[in-house]
Amino acid sequence: MQDIAEQLQAWHAAGRTFAVATVVGVSGSAPRDPGAALAVDSAGEAIGSVSGGCVEGAVYELCQTAVETGEPVLERFGYSDEDAFAVGLTCGGVLDVFVQPVVPGADPGLDAGITYIASGTPVALARVIDGPAALLGATVAVTADTHHGSLSPAPSTVAALERAVVAEARAMLDAGRTGRVVLGLDGRPCDEAGQGTITFFVESYVPAPRMLVFGAIDFAAAVVRIGKFLGYHVTVCDARPVFATARRFPDADQVVVDWPHRYLDSQLDRIDGRTVLCVLTHDAKFDIPLLERALRLPVAYVGAMGSRKTHRDRNTRLREVGLTDAEIGRLRSPIGLDLGARTPEETAVSVAAEIVAQRRGGSCLPLSAGEGPIHHDLARTAAAADSEPTAPPAVHAA
């Protein structure tokens, strides 16, 4: 619910009761990832989305009911040939949605979580979505060094259970992961949900992933714009102050005048497995020191602009400075997919398409050329494996 956090915080601050419907499990060609949310307040105002339109009406009604009754509910929306006009997913996927009423001041975990999310503080929300009725909806908000909320009322093993879920949530926050965690009542990890287990949905809210664009050229301005569109925090870096100006890159979050490799060295504590690097300088004196470092970092993507000849020469130079073939093999060069792009804007689309394919596990082939699932990204596959319930809630068929 990070994308609707600001409005939720406004409702919360105003003391308005509301309900949040969160996608907690997907399979097949479901339209939204786990963590997507729709919220409805006591006046009937709705924000967000869980399905892109397929089941919004039914989920809206579930939220209204939750506001009225104060009772959380876990529902499944799927597809059935027997009832093709019922509420459900026409795309053929399956979507599990947890609907939770929120009364400001009633749940310290949710109260703290909403505040953290709205302020941009990294936090993981661990909510009970399956288990004893007394625990359903109980929430613990976990940050790097503290946590808020509790699982009371709970069994006598509550201390062990809380310690276990806090540890699990903190590990998922460190990795930026969202998914299900199944624990026994004594806190032990379980492979499957069942008798005597509790299923938590853990949502990690972390700062936007970073895109570092090296080279303040005209193509960079287009890459910056599309990077922002994709949700990245975008920095432009160039050693030439006449080109690296905020006026030339108004859409960038930050414009830095520095040698690229030196700036990268200064950012090591802010780089993670979601970071993407676009090296557009195609000048060896900038590229080689930068790529020597970048290709040894655990980042999501490193792409470099240049011709085929530049690419071959660059690879030779990288070997000369000690990079292995495996390290050089991580470099996407020439940068982008083969779209026949010529203009800066077309090139930016090409670069963005390659970044998305790398992130999501796409084949880069036309969808019309295949028969497989449309949504087959790596993150969703892992999340589905984490979150598939063994005892599914009632299915609303389409």
Using CA atoms, how far apart are residues 131 and 196, in angstroms rounded to an integer?
Answer: 8
CA distance 15 to 13: 5
Cα separation of 318 and 184, whole Å?
51
Can you give the pLDDT at residue 282?
82
Round to whole Å and give the CA distance between 386 and 178. Answer: 9
CA distance 211 to 80: 42
Residues 6+ apart with CB under 8 A from 344: 218, 219, 221, 222
Using DSSP's 3-state secondary structure scheme, residue 156 falls into coil
In whole angstroms, how large is the CA radius of gyration of the chain?
23
Residue 236 backbone class (left: φ over 0; alpha: ψ -120 to 50; beta: rest) = beta
Cα-based angle 97, 103, 105 (whole degrees, multiple of 5):
130
Neighbours of 113 (CB within 10 A): 29
CATH architecture designation of domain 210-360: 3-Layer(aba) Sandwich (3.40)
Which pLDDT score is estimated for 135?
Answer: 87
pLDDT of the residue at 371: 75
Cα–Cα distance, 71 to 66 (Å, whole number): 5
SS3 content of the chain, % helix, strand, coil (to 5): 35, 20, 45
How close are the terminal C-alpha atoms of the chain, in Å? Answer: 25
pLDDT of residue 102: 94
Structure tokens at 242: 């006449």
The contacts of residue 284 (CB under 8 Å, 6+ apart) are: 313, 314, 317
What local confidence, expressed as pLDDT, does residue 132 receive?
86
- Asked whether 276 and 299 are in contact (CB, 8 A), the reply is yes
Q: Where in the chain is the domain with CATH 3.40.50.720?
A: 210-360
Please tell me the predicted confidence (pLDDT) of residue 119: 83
Cis peptide before 334, with omega less than 30 degrees from 0?
yes
Per-residue pLDDT of the chain (398 residues; tens, 9 = 90+): 777 888 999 999 999 999 999 999 887 666 678 889 999 999 999 999 987 666 888 999 999 999 999 999 999 887 544 443 344 445 557 889 999 999 999 999 999 998 898 888 899 999 999 988 888 999 999 998 899 998 865 555 578 888 999 999 998 888 788 999 999 988 899 988 878 899 999 999 888 889 999 999 999 999 999 999 998 999 999 999 999 999 999 999 999 999 999 999 999 988 988 899 999 998 899 999 999 999 999 999 999 999 999 999 999 999 999 999 999 999 999 999 999 999 999 999 999 999 999 988 888 888 888 776 666 544 444 444 444 444 445 444 33
Q: Which residue matches tokens 């599309």? A: 226
A 10 A CB-CB count for 204 gives 22
Using CA atoms, how far residue 369 sits from 29, 185, 314, 349, in Å, is 17, 49, 34, 21
* Token pair in block for residue 230: 């994709």
* pLDDT given for residue 92 in this prediction: 58
Report the alpha-carbon distance of residue 141 to residue 147 in Å, rounded: 5
How much is the pLDDT for 73? 94
Per-residue confidence (pLDDT) for residue 32, from 0 to 100: 73
How far is Cα of residue 388 from the mean position of the Cα atoms in its chain?
Answer: 18
